[in-house]
Amino acid sequence: MSHKNILKNLAIIMDGNGRWAKERGLIRTKGHEKGADVIRDITQYCAEHKTIETVTLYAFSTENWKRPKYEVDFLMRLLDSWLKKELPTYHKFGAKFETVGDISGFSKKLQETIASIKQQTAHHTNVTQILALNYGARDEIVRAVNKLISQDIKVTEESLGDALDSPYTDIDLLVRTSGEQRLSNFLLWQLSYSEFYFTQTLWPDFNALELDDIISQFYDVDRRFGGI
Ligand code: IPE
Ligand code: IPE
Ligand code: MG
C-alpha cells in the first residue's frame, strides 16, 4: 500500500492522567502511574513501524512546577523508577532514549538515571524515544539563541534549528489526548508544518490501536507546505 505522506517524526502530548484518576475516584497520582504504562505500548508500535524515526513525548513542562509539591515529587520519583524498570523494554524494542528540555533543574540522582539510560540505549536504531522533561518551547528557543550569541554565530533558520535541544527535526504529526486543543508550550519551532490530531481519549486509556487509526488518517492528508 502506498501512502501520500511518510511519517518520520511523531510527537504526543500525553494529557488527561488526572481526569482519568478523578473519574475513578482515585488520587491523581494513580493516573500518572497508569499513564506511564501506556508509553511501553506506544514505544513498541513506533519501533515496529517502518518509517517512524522519532517519537517525542511531553512528560513534564516548565509550567508543571506550579503543581502541588506532592504531585511534582511523585512525578520525579515515578520518572526515576519508571526509567530503571523500562530499560529491558528499550533493549527489547531496539529503542534509543533521549530527552529534550532543561534537565539541569532535576535532582542529581534523577539526572544520573537519565544519563545512564541514554548511554545504555545509545546503540539502538529502531526508534528514538524522546521524553520532553522540564521542557518549554520558549525556554528551548531562548537557550538556543543564547548559545548562538555566546558562540558569536549569526542567527539563521538553520543555525537556530541546529542549536535547539538535539536530536531534533520537524514534527510530521502531533497528537494530543484528553480533548484539550492547545500546545501548552510544546515544540513551537518544530511544529511549524505539522499535522494536528486531537482525541478525547484520556492518556491512560490511549493505545497503539488508536494511534494506528490516527496515523492512517495522516497518510491521506494533502500536505502542501505552502505550494499548490
Ligand atoms: C498529563 O496529565 C501528565 C502531566 C502533565 C505530567 P495531567 O496530569 O495534566 O492530567 P489532567 O490534564 O489534569 O487530567
Ligand atoms: C501539558 O499538559 C504538559 C504535559 C502533558 C506534560 P498540561 O496538563 O500541563 O497542560 P495545560 O495546563 O492543560 O495547558
Ligand atoms: Mg493536563
Taking CA atoms only, the protein residue closest to ligand 1 atom 13 is 18
Element (H, E) at 127: strand 127-135
The reported pLDDT for the residue numbered 167 is 62
Residue 22 has pLDDT above 80, yes or no: yes
| Chain Cα centroid distance, residue 75 | 15
- The pLDDT tens digits for 103-121 are 999 999 999 999 999 999 9
Maximum Cα interatomic distance, the chain, rounded to a whole number of Å: 55
- Is ligand 2 within 6 A of the CB of residue 59? yes
- In whole angstroms, give the CA distance from residue 32 to residue 28: 7
Confidence of residue 166 (pLDDT cuts 50, 70, 90): confident
Residue 168 has pLDDT above 80, yes or no: no
Confidence of residue 1 (pLDDT cuts 50, 70, 90): low
For residues 32-47, give the mean pLDDT. Answer: 98
Among all residues, which ones are annotated catalytic? 15, 64
Residue 136 CA to ligand 2 centre (angstroms):
11
Ligand 1 atom closest to the CA of 21, numbered from 1: 14
The reported pLDDT for the residue numbered 154 is 98
DSSP codes, 63-83: TGGGS-HHHHHHHHHHHHHHH
Mutate to test the pocket of ligand 1, among 13, 14, 19 (most ligand atoms within 8 A of CB): 19
Sequence-distant (≥ 6) Cβ neighbours of residue 167 within 8 angstroms: 54, 98, 128, 130
- In whole angstroms, give the CA distance from residue 6 to residue 118: 27
* Ligand of minimum distance to the alpha carbon of 185: 2
- The pLDDT tens digits for 60-93 are 999 999 999 999 999 999 999 999 999 999 999 9
For residues 162-178, give the mean pLDDT. Answer: 90
Taking CA atoms only, the protein residue closest to ligand 2 atom 12 is 184
- In whole angstroms, give the CA distance from residue 173 to residue 59: 17
Cell (9 digits) for 194: 505539522
The reported pLDDT for the residue numbered 120 is 98
The reported pLDDT for the residue numbered 3 is 81
The reported pLDDT for the residue numbered 122 is 98
Cell (9 digits) for 56: 517525542
What single letter denotes the amino acid at residue 116? S
For the CA atoms of 73, 206, 50, 121, what is the dihedral angle to 10 degrees? Answer: 20
- The residue among 228, 201, 176, 218 whose CA lies nearest residue 6 is 218
Given a contact cutoff of 8 angstroms between Cβ atoms, the answer to whether 133 and 101 are in contact is yes
- The pLDDT tens digits for 204-221 are 999 999 999 999 999 999
The reported pLDDT for the residue numbered 156 is 95
- Is ligand 2 within 6 A of the CB of residue 203? no
> What is this structure's pTM?
0.97
- Is ligand 2 within 6 A of the CB of residue 83? no
Residue 2 has pLDDT above 80, yes or no: no
Q: Alpha helices of 151-204 — where are they, by DSSP H?
A: 157-163
